[in-house]
Structure 1
């Protein structure tokens, strides 16, 4: 009877198991598999990061096997099929992993009871082994068997790479000229196999599109492929012909990838933009000047690619391009706007560009005047900053010690930041007296500029002052403010931008020893209400640095006591580590009002979430919290049970002895 029950669980999972819990457990395994795979790509198997990632993956699998029985994933185009679920459809990392697994000629991966750490390590090694090496082992299945992996079984795809029909010779099934790139071939891989771009309008073999996708996924490899394009006769291309063919290749690759994989445009465009960054300067400049810049107003792909560079990257690209194409300098502002950059980004790019061109020293100062005039017009001229102490020292060596110290202090003064802080109180006073002014529009515009300048340098105290006064202004019924309400409301909305809040958290985490700066950050977020808390929550989910996460947790613990319902919305998040951090915040708050949410956390499939929930319940210490810890003694996870015993012992809870 027990044997038949066990077999039934192996086929269909524990009868009482909640379907959502099962789905989350499976998704957690796949997420850890992604982390282990990427860690192994970067480091050797013995590296601590790889060992930790493999151990975490094995922990998730062995923890889920009693619940799920046999675990089997099938790699599909859009993610992983698990039972009746398609996992990873909305997660690019899982879609990429599924595509990579298919490229290895693997269709399904099955994990069974008795799986060992060595089995998991063998699976990760399989994922990082090139297909041609797997073929030398006799295929993926033989590779695992050769490593003694018996707890993981795989099913290979029916079509083996060695049995694929040969692709058409160069020129067959193509049209156009070398200048359009349609007859160009990218040579990639260790054995230099030819790779054609499949036409976006025709169905293609899955393996062929997978080859293309893998190439796009690796911008550095794509850049090498673009540099080695050949014509229809197999001759290497160079000069303008290579630049035109490279752009043609990118254009056809983008169309094919969108057609066959429905890739998000933002992700695809960024991948193509990164490949351009890896190109040699001469080829990159030719592609920019011959195709991407002239095509800004004609071809959407040009605008999409050019708009995916960060302001710093764009300043670097233009600094080398304008050195060889100085006639473009007067058009810099309009070109950046055509690329889709906003006013503040254009100003940042032009300022950085001017500094880089001065450093390169290859253009006469007079040729940079259009950039200088633009910055002066926008109030952001590079001349707004004092020279560095080193620059002053080069002019004279006659200063004594006290004078040198004073020069150093002056050289470190940020005139623009100081100006924002000094003028903000005056502008806020003028805004409050709006009905007395003839130029209220000027005051509003200057306040908006001050706000963005203050947030850029991390001065959130004055920025919070602006937001508080703006909010008060919007509540006033005075008709004099009516023309500006849309602009002021938009400022409040943009102040809660997730990237802005994340950047501010990083800046302020470096000044955590300054209590005033910490209070300013909390006041800034309090002004934004729930939108500010939500933005900080998203920053917590994305941030990789532990010190910044710690700072965010400290901030949330201080400001979320009145936003517990908002915190609870993240309890169902797919990112277990974010859920654990939410529970950490609740533990810091120590409020009985968190009990319903901690009850959910105790049912979470990940043991680290449950461990944090036990700690939170122990810190709250109410009768209800203690009862929940007692119920935790029945948890399937041994470490959770041990934690419950420890906390009950700390509370000297006699009632618990009945359950031990």
Structure 2
């Protein structure tokens, strides 16, 4: 029997549920692509989506969604324009060729999973199988309709190039410049009325300008992102225009069309377009000059008037060009006056801004008549007029997400303060869990962290129903599926949400330790490894035991990172766990172990350093020398001076000795001065360049010794001749300034 229920209308649906449906659809799409097909999280998210769809389908037979490149439409209206998650969902559907998506009463769990699997396929596979709609049709799916591009309309041809018209000849480089520009300008937009669309068979510059004017008029409240799209399109267009293969007559024709196009734009759209053009082409004054040269005189005068009124933003480099152009056009007095008026020195700009932003000077910039009108209006008001910033805050308080945050705060307050009966307690618990899931799905990890902190604060003196509800909610935070979901958000949401996720992990604590360690062990990227280590470092002693258990991992790079983490935790007790790694591990692990012993000033650290300095392996010895600067052990100092006395002539030996001089300078012990003096007095026939570098390092190091003998040595060297003498004299002067 035919149902009489109407199709979807954005105003008739429960927008709160629709909001959740779209969020959950996007999450399910990512889960299906990211996890193995038998992973439980796929069934969990798909089941939740099915439940939400069932709630909406009680109101209508079908839910129809329109898909553009970056927006979703319901009932002909854009739904939540600017929402990052919906933009991601729209882009994913659009890239898979889906332009219309319908859910009906027959939708089921397997169909949802199959649909999301289809969205995860490569475009070539989708085209070969007739798109997402073809995959669904062959599988007998009845509850989901995904209409898209009709790939069957495309067919192969033996022609090497498709000609524009019969007899027109092959396309020459640059012949499609204007078409590319217009296509890029209009790409990714959806005009539900049809009046703003320009077909590729109607590319007259005036028609394109009029279409852009109409689109701007309709979308004016949401035009915040338009300048960015202009900039990217202008840059792309100018790159094509710069192509050396383009015939000059095509270039000239395209620039003439661009001039006509700019001339036919409305003042508001022209302001946006030229501001973007000047900003993106600030380094290409030659191209700006070509564009301006193709404008009609009337248009050029209008442009200069807009610049004079500061309606068009012009970088200083372009203003210089305008000044030059004004001198070239002697007859155009207006052009010269505008350019001259806009050339202002940096100091003058600074002084003007100081005057403008002086608190007590605000009235100077408001006309008297207008100020009197404002005061008369304000006098009739019961209170002060709200500021625009306050209005924006009030608008934000009406958003769905803000309301959900406040509802969560109220529920937590009720749980702690009232004494509900069993049914009320169950209802509060269910609503709280729904909100926690909502925050997880929308990526509001800070709200989750705040809720967890509040739940932990409930004490034993709370009402009898408080603790069971709190405990149930706390179990949610420690659930493996939820932890996986939070960590998956690192990839799903990107860097924007990393700090929020880190705050949540820091708040929840122990349940995240093992999953973080697993991810750290497998992560290939340096940035994410550092992020995981920072998160584990936040957990400090909570993570310490789990880290120590994993020190027996066979992968040296994993053990190295674990030793670094234990050092960051700053607990000397960890030394008992890493002692066995000394001398028995990979050199890089061994180095981090030595750093850890030195960090905690353990007496064994100096013994380990001496052993490393005696080692025949040059790399291990050099690493040990670089750590010696924090030691004050006489044994370590003696071993370092022995290295200086070594008579080797290779470049490695000289590099090692330079590192020794730096370490001894950090220590600053006078016991090293005789060895340093020997280096400075050394004469050699071989490797004079390397030896001279070593002597320079030795002289520079002397300023770090707070001993009279070091100063006397510098004075003796300064009394001589050559580069070392000049270097010693400079060192003495700097040393004298430091003492003052």
TM-score category of the 2 structures, normalised to the smaller one:
0.3 to 0.5
Please tell me whether Structure 1 or Structure 2 has the larger radius of gyration of its CA atoms. 2
The alignment's TM-score, normalised by the length of structure 1, stands at 0.40
Give me the TM-score of the superposition, normalised by structure 2. Answer: 0.36
Per chain length, whose mean CA-contact separation is higher, i.e. which structure has more relative contact order (CA < 8 Å, sep 6+)?
1
